[in-house]
Amino acid sequence: MFYKDERLALFIDGSNLYAAAKALGFDIDYKLLRQEFERRGKLVRAFYYTALLESEEYSPIRPLVDWLNYNGFAMVTKPAKEYTDSMGRRKVKGNMDIELAVDAMELAPRLDHIVLFSGDGDFRPLIESLQRQGCRVSVVSTIRSQPPMIADELRRQADNFIELDALREVIGRPPREPREDENGDDS
């Protein structure tokens, strides 16, 4: 439930939203996403959080990051860390949870409604704290994927759960074919 006069902000966990949309078989059109939430209330800020691999000449996510930056999204990035796991596989670690939580806590006194695009159960205590500060919190993720992309405890804590698949017609577009130089890894 949204009210036209409420001040709202979007907090997008980039890799989590990407994985949820991919599991549902569509891409997010961020221009449409922004317009949808501008329609639902007074959009104060739209944050997008992602880690970037700085060692690569070209990152598949770089064009998206640049576009979002020029189109009204507050970009929060940090270098991802590369490591090799015990099986010798190259892994990328780039968790943005703390950055998202700090920004949400700082902005909460100036907001009525926070929309969190993530299914990560680690955000449950954050939602609880935001609610104690008087913010309503909606969580956007999916239970329609196998397995569901949202942690049960996160869904229970939120004031409102928005099924990402239900937004498909409003903010979705068909997935584009990946080019050969893209591995699709958005971790």
pLDDT digits (tens, 9 = 90+) for 111-130: 999 999 999 999 999 999 99
- The predicted model gives 169-175 an average pLDDT of 90
Residue 181's pLDDT is what? 42
Is the pLDDT confidence value at 93 over 80?
Answer: no
Q: Is 43 helix (H, G, I), strand (E, B) or coil?
A: strand
Q: Is 151 helix (H, G, I), strand (E, B) or coil?
A: coil
Residue 71 burial (C-beta neighbours within 10 Å; 0-12, 13-18, 19+): exposed
Residue 55 burial (C-beta neighbours within 10 Å; 0-12, 13-18, 19+): exposed
Tokens 């968790």 belong to: 95
CA atoms lying within 13 Å on the CB side of residue 45: 19
Residue 184's pLDDT is what? 45
Q: What is the CATH number of domain 18-173?
A: 3.40.50.1010
- Domain boundaries defined on the chain: 18-173
pTM: predicted TM-score of the whole model, two decimal places: 0.87
Residue 153's pLDDT is what? 97
Residue 95's pLDDT is what? 84
pLDDT 10s digits, 16-59: 999 999 999 999 999 999 999 999 999 999 999 998 877 666 67
Cα–Cα dist 89/86, whole Å: 7
